[in-house]
Amino acid sequence: MALAALADQFSQLTARAATPPPEPGKTQEWPVPMVSLRPEFYYALFRAGLPASADALFPGRLRRGARRLGAGGAAGIIPSALGDEIPGAIGNFQALSAAAC
Protein backbone atom coordinates (compact mmCIF):
# COMPACT_ATOMS: atom_id res chain seq x y z
CA MET A 1 0.00 0.00 0.00
CA ALA A 2 2.81 2.41 0.81
CA LEU A 3 4.32 2.11 -2.69
CA ALA A 4 0.90 2.68 -4.27
CA ALA A 5 0.41 5.83 -2.19
CA LEU A 6 3.88 7.10 -3.11
CA ALA A 7 3.25 6.34 -6.78
CA ASP A 8 0.06 8.38 -6.62
CA GLN A 9 1.94 11.32 -5.07
CA PHE A 10 4.73 11.13 -7.67
CA SER A 11 2.19 11.10 -10.50
CA GLN A 12 1.46 14.74 -9.63
CA LEU A 13 4.99 15.77 -10.72
CA THR A 14 5.11 17.47 -14.11
CA ALA A 15 7.74 18.74 -16.54
CA ARG A 16 7.77 20.29 -19.96
CA ALA A 17 7.70 17.67 -22.71
CA ALA A 18 10.92 17.01 -24.52
CA THR A 19 10.54 18.55 -27.94
CA PRO A 20 12.78 18.15 -30.97
CA PRO A 21 14.38 21.31 -32.32
CA PRO A 22 12.25 23.10 -34.90
CA GLU A 23 12.89 22.45 -38.56
CA PRO A 24 15.07 25.05 -40.28
CA GLY A 25 13.01 28.13 -41.09
CA LYS A 26 10.24 27.20 -38.64
CA THR A 27 9.63 28.45 -35.13
CA GLN A 28 9.16 26.42 -31.96
CA GLU A 29 5.53 25.78 -31.10
CA TRP A 30 4.49 27.26 -27.76
CA PRO A 31 3.40 26.43 -25.21
CA VAL A 32 5.28 23.18 -24.82
CA PRO A 33 2.92 20.67 -23.19
CA MET A 34 3.47 19.43 -19.66
CA VAL A 35 3.94 15.71 -19.09
CA SER A 36 3.80 13.36 -16.12
CA LEU A 37 3.75 9.62 -15.45
CA ARG A 38 0.78 7.52 -14.49
CA PRO A 39 0.94 6.09 -10.95
CA GLU A 40 1.23 2.57 -12.41
CA PHE A 41 4.58 3.45 -13.98
CA TYR A 42 5.97 4.93 -10.76
CA TYR A 43 4.76 1.85 -8.91
CA ALA A 44 6.67 -0.35 -11.37
CA LEU A 45 9.83 1.73 -10.87
CA PHE A 46 9.56 1.47 -7.09
CA ARG A 47 8.86 -2.27 -7.24
CA ALA A 48 11.94 -2.62 -9.46
CA GLY A 49 14.09 -1.13 -6.71
CA LEU A 50 14.46 2.50 -7.72
CA PRO A 51 14.38 4.94 -4.80
CA ALA A 52 11.06 6.49 -3.80
CA SER A 53 12.55 9.96 -3.40
CA ALA A 54 12.47 12.61 -6.14
CA ASP A 55 16.01 13.73 -5.25
CA ALA A 56 17.31 10.19 -5.71
CA LEU A 57 14.95 8.87 -8.41
CA PHE A 58 15.56 11.31 -11.26
CA PRO A 59 19.17 12.54 -11.31
CA GLY A 60 21.48 9.91 -12.74
CA ARG A 61 18.73 7.28 -13.03
CA LEU A 62 17.62 7.96 -16.59
CA ARG A 63 18.97 4.79 -18.23
CA ARG A 64 18.05 2.55 -15.34
CA GLY A 65 14.57 4.05 -15.08
CA ALA A 66 13.93 3.68 -18.81
CA ARG A 67 15.14 0.07 -18.75
CA ARG A 68 12.96 -0.70 -15.74
CA LEU A 69 9.87 0.81 -17.33
CA GLY A 70 10.46 -1.26 -20.43
CA ALA A 71 11.01 -4.40 -18.36
CA GLY A 72 8.12 -3.66 -16.01
CA GLY A 73 5.52 -4.60 -18.57
CA ALA A 74 7.24 -7.87 -19.32
CA ALA A 75 7.47 -8.68 -15.63
CA GLY A 76 3.73 -8.18 -15.17
CA ILE A 77 4.10 -5.16 -12.90
CA ILE A 78 2.62 -2.73 -15.42
CA PRO A 79 -0.90 -3.76 -16.44
CA SER A 80 -1.00 -5.18 -19.96
CA ALA A 81 -3.62 -2.57 -20.90
CA LEU A 82 -0.90 0.09 -20.49
CA GLY A 83 1.68 -1.74 -22.60
CA ASP A 84 1.24 0.63 -25.55
CA GLU A 85 1.94 3.59 -23.26
CA ILE A 86 5.39 2.37 -22.15
CA PRO A 87 7.39 4.16 -24.92
CA GLY A 88 5.62 7.45 -24.11
CA ALA A 89 6.19 6.88 -20.40
CA ILE A 90 9.91 6.43 -21.04
CA GLY A 91 9.97 9.76 -22.90
CA ASN A 92 8.06 11.43 -20.07
CA PHE A 93 10.48 9.95 -17.53
CA GLN A 94 13.32 11.46 -19.57
CA ALA A 95 11.64 14.89 -19.49
CA LEU A 96 11.05 14.61 -15.73
CA SER A 97 14.67 13.56 -15.21
CA ALA A 98 15.96 16.50 -17.26
CA ALA A 99 13.78 18.92 -15.27
CA ALA A 100 15.11 17.53 -11.99
CA CYS A 101 18.77 18.17 -12.91
Q: What is the pLDDT of residues 25-65, one digit of tens each?
A: 777 666 778 999 999 999 988 988 888 888 888 876 666 77
**Domain membership flag for residue 26:** no
In this structure, are residues 40 and 82 in contact, taking their beta carbons and an 8 Å threshold?
Answer: yes
Instruction: Tell which residue, 39, 93, 96, 47, has the closest CA to residue 72.
Output: 47
pLDDT at residue 28 in the model:
66
Separation CA 60–CA 48 (nearest Å)? 16
Separation CA 41–CA 77 (nearest Å)? 9
pLDDT at residue 14 in the model:
93
State yes or no: pLDDT of 4 exceeds 70.
yes
**Domain membership flag for residue 21:** no
Instruction: Tell which residue, 45, 69, 68, 67, has the closest CA to residue 57.
Output: 45
Look up the domain containing 49 and give its range: 2-10+33-100
Separation CA 39–CA 23 (nearest Å)? 34
pTM over 0.85? The answer is: no
**Domain membership flag for residue 22:** no
pLDDT at residue 62 in the model:
64
